[in-house]
Amino acid sequence: MGRNLPNVSTQKLEDTALNLSSSSREPTDNDSLGFVVLGTVLSIYTIIIIVGVLGNVTLIKVFATVKSMQTVPNIFIASLAVGDLLLLLTCVPVDASRYLAEAWLFGRAGCKIISFIQLTTVGVSVFTLTVLSADRYRAIVRPMDRQGADAVLKTCCKGGLVWVVSMLLAIPEAVFSDLYSFSVPGSNTTFETCAPYPVTDKVLVEVHSLSCFLIFYLLPLSISSVFYALIARKLIQSACDMPGEEHYNLCKQVEARKRLAKMVLVLVFLFAICWLPNHVLYLYRSFTYHSLVDSSLGHLLATFVSRALAFSSSVVNPFALYCLSKSFRKHFNHHLCWMCQQQKKIHRNTFVTSNTGITMLKIEQMSELLSCETPSMY
């Protein structure tokens, strides 16, 4: 995909090339450096998974349990968190495994399933943000509109439709993804890894990269930009600029919706920043080499940074909301404190149980000792 997760399942190719070329020599200082780099890479992936799962699980729990947080935009954001959570639990560990093993570990079926999940989750993210931008535009342009009793149901249907469209668009990725052969420059070695296209088909590679870039990045973000340009124009003519006390309630409503629009804009901006390097690198790969692998250190570093940044887009949303929304921050802190208190209770109960067991053991031992030393009364 243009996002370079499934499409370049070849991220480990550079490492593989280096491993293959160094397999027949004695260990050197470069090997120690390699272990340091590998440890750094895996540590960063581990941090991404732990922090991302904690943030998104807490976000989903807040929206699911707090009635006042179950609003139309928050339903979309919760859907976004579910997609991010799926990406973090499936695709990030698989990507990390490529730095540990030279071969693809998950078979042909795993290649297709992982590629499908990755593209689906990216589609859910970018299309949900586009729908959110449209929703904020409607709320700003028509501030007097009141939500009907079925607003939540309609929003859930829209969110479900986003998932369906994303999965439909990801089906070709699953169909064409397979284990394809790549060649290591400077040697006669070839190896197989998961990729979304036959690497020898130059036209297909270029079409795939361009279509992914357009469908999953440029077009939806362009639509969001148009909505926010219209929102900006509307805010310049805001009702709050109009005199008269009768507009006081309208002013408060517009200000609240303006804050929410800014929050959605930040989420769109973060997605665009996080995914841009990944798309650019994939386009570069698609138009410069195909069955050969660029094993240079610079390309390896660019690959890792772009992918880590792309995965980070699934981490930052809960913390962006934490900074921008007072109500979310309050409930987020409450749920985190509750989880910490539960952990303390479990630890305390374990400690008490352990001490009780030790005390009972001592009593039994003393009883046995006394029974041996004290003469019977009978």
The residues, any chain, with a CB within 8 Å of residue 207's CB and separated by 6 or more, are none
Mean pLDDT of 195-212: 83
4 found inside a domain: no
| Containing structural domain, residue 156 | 13-324
End-of-domain residue from the set 324, 341, 358: 324
Beta-strand ranges (E) seen in the chain are 178-183, 190-195
Which strand (E) or helix (H) includes residue 156?
helix 151-176
- With beta carbons less than 8 A apart as the criterion, state whether 75 and 333 touch: no
- My answer on whether 281 and 338 are in the same domain is no
User: How high is the mean pLDDT of the chain?
Assistant: 77
250 with 346, same domain: the answer is no
In a domain, 227, yes or no: yes
What pLDDT does 348 receive?
58
Pair (274, 195) in one structural domain? yes
Over residues 269-282, mean pLDDT: 93
pLDDT of the residue at 15? 44
Residues 126 and 17 in one domain: yes
Give the torsion through C-alpha atoms of 170, 175, 177, 181, to 10 deg.
Answer: -160
> Given pLDDT bands bounded at 50, 70 and 90, which one contains residue 374?
very low
Is 182 strand, coil or helix?
Answer: strand
* Whether 247 and 378 share a structural domain: no
pLDDT tens digit string along 110-159?
999 999 999 999 999 999 999 999 988 888 777 666 666 678 888 899 99
Among 16-25, 237-246, 366-375, the range scoring the smallest mean pLDDT is 366-375
Rg (CA), the chain: 27
| Mean local confidence (pLDDT), 53-67 | 91
Specify the 3-state DSSP secondary structure of 57.
helix
Q: How many domains is the chain partitioned into structurally? A: 2
Domain assignment present for residue 109? The answer is yes
79-88, 130-139, 249-258, 327-336: least confidently modelled range: 249-258
Q: How far is CA 32 from the centre of its chain?
A: 31
Polymer length of the chain: 378
Q: Is residue 76 one of the residues assigned to a domain?
A: yes
Q: For 336-362, what is the mean pLDDT?
A: 54
- Cα–Cα nearest to 13, from 311, 282, 303: 303
Locate all alpha helices (DSSP H) within 66-106, ordered by sequence.
Answer: 72-97
Per-residue confidence band for 311, with pLDDT thresholds at 50, 70 and 90: very high
Tokens at 213, concatenated: 């870039």
In the chain, % of residues over pLDDT 70 = 70
Taking each continuous run of H as one helix and of E as one strand, the counts in the chain are 10, 2
321's tokens: 């909301």
